[in-house]
Amino acid sequence: MELASTPAQDGFYFPAEFARQEQVWLAWPERTDNWRNDAKPAQRAFADVANAIVKTVPVCVVISKWQAEYARQLLDDAISLEIMPYNDAWMRDIGPTILVNDQGERRGVSWQFNAWGGDYNGLYDYWEDDDQVAAAVCAKLGLDHYRAPFVLEGGAIHTDGQGTLYTTEECLLSPGRNPSMSKADIEQQLAEYLGIQKVIWLPNGLFNDETDGHVDNLLHVIAPGKVALTWTDNVRDPQYTLSREALRVLVNSTDARGRRIEVVKLPLPGPLYLSKEEAEGVIQSEGMNRTEGERLSGSYANFLMINHTVFMPLLDPITDRLAMQSLQDALPDYQIVGIPAREILLGGGNIHCITQQIPSGL
């Protein structure tokens, strides 16, 4: 049921990803203007992610009816399928953000979705089905939900579950999202719909990120007062300055509880570029340009944390091991699982972008 109140009015808040989780949802990729070679390589990569996660928690995959039979061949038998309309496979952005209260009850938030920029710079023209996915998932889960009165995607926000929200100015202040809202207006709405007390605004996301700088491709909150940040020491790389700007904000900020923020640096893979073969496998469209030599927005921060397991993308043999070790050192009681994820990156995101966790309830 869609509720007329707000989460803040009802005492609900956005829990941390490192809190206890009950389930993970994904959506099946099939757009031929985003996923190469009829999306078959991406489908295998998505299946690898889902099959790894289901060893930790139950997994559900949203899918179209004409893809279900083939997907069933690739997916673990323990994974459930839900047929519903959708436009592309970024469950982080189209799925619900699930909130909890102090009694362990859960409710969802359905953000307004406009394909990362609407008529201004959206990646595709028709997004009406994506905009309905969050409410449909909540219905499948038996959860009431709130319909937010503004545009937001799940990949644009990270939280510590203790009142602090991390985001980027590049994304939330982009002209294609909410041009009539000021920064103060957005902060007020984030407080109202996520139950948070403080927003830490980073200037920009990762270089050449077509989502206008989603925070989850730059940074990951891994514990209260502790974040993992994409980093490079290559002064010639455009990410060099962007990461230092983010670090400057982080080290000069305190979170909602007054803690200084500890920063763990994750190496930047590559730089990685789209190959000729990869580009030629995509049917070109106006919004999503996939051209040979394009810089890919690859990041190890785009991982998923589920119940003391980290599912991390493997993107570059030169830096994969270092990234995994950095996370293991920062999270010694976690299992770090690396999954080859270049095919997901080719579509514009990675493991965190294609998943949405469902927190445990009562």
User: DSSP characters for 127-185?
Assistant: -TTHHHHHHHHHHHHT--EEEEEEE--GGG-EE-SSSEEEEEHHHHT-TTT-TT--HHH
Average pLDDT over every residue of 283-303: 91
Residues forming a β-bridge with 311: 304, 337
Q: Report whether the peptide linkage leading into residue 271 is cis, meaning its omega lies within 30 degrees of zero.
A: yes
Please give the average per-residue pLDDT across 113-138, as a whole number. 96
Largest CA distance in the chain: 54
Q: Evaluate whether 207 touches 213 at the Cβ level (below 8 Å).
A: no
Strands (E), 175-289: 198-202, 219-223, 226-231, 262-267
Work out the average pLDDT over 289-303.
Answer: 95
- Which residue, chain included where needed, has tokens 């985001």? 167
The predicted structure's pLDDT at residue 166: 98
pLDDT in the model for residue 321: 98
Residue of 266 and 283 predicted with greater confidence: 266
For the domain 2-359, what is the CATH code? 3.75.10.10
The share of the chain scoring above pLDDT 70, in percent, equals: 100
The predicted pLDDT at position 361 comes to 82
Question: Which are the contacts of 346, defined by CB distance < 8 A and separation ≥ 6?
Answer: 35, 36, 42, 274, 278, 290, 296
Contacts of 141 (CB under 8 A, 6+ apart): 106, 108, 358
Residue range 29-50: mean pLDDT, rounded: 97
Is a pLDDT exceeding 80 seen at residue 362?
no
Q: What is the dihedral of CA 64, 20, 305, 332, to 10 degrees?
A: -160
The rounded distance, in Å, linking the Cα atoms of 327 and 266 is 8
Map 131-144 to HEC letters: HHHHHHHHHHHCCC
Give the start-to-end residue ranges of the domains of the chain: 2-359
Does residue 63 have a pLDDT over 80?
Answer: yes
- Return the structure tokens found at 352: 């965190």
Query: What average pLDDT is seen over the chain?
Result: 97
pLDDT value, residue 167: 98
Q: If you average pLDDT over residues 156-172, what whole number do you get?
A: 98
- In this prediction, residue 288 has a pLDDT band, given cuts at 50, 70 and 90, of confident
Residue 119 has pLDDT above 80, yes or no: yes
Residue 239 CA to its chain's centroid (Å): 20
Q: Which amino acid is at 119?
A: D
Residue 292 one-letter amino acid: E
pLDDT exceeds cutoff 90 at 287: no
> Is the per-residue pLDDT at 173 higher than 90?
yes
Gap between the Cα atoms of 167 and 203, Å rounded: 9
pTM for the whole thing? 0.97
Place 50 in a pLDDT band, splitting at 50, 70 and 90.
very high
Three-class SS of residue 232? coil
Q: How confident is the model at residue 284, as a pLDDT?
A: 83
> Average pLDDT for residues 197-207, to the nearest whole number?
98
- pLDDT tens digits, one per residue of 66-97: 999 999 999 999 999 999 999 999 999 999 99
61 SS3 class: strand
* pLDDT of 266 strictly over 90: yes
- Catalytic residue IDs: 353
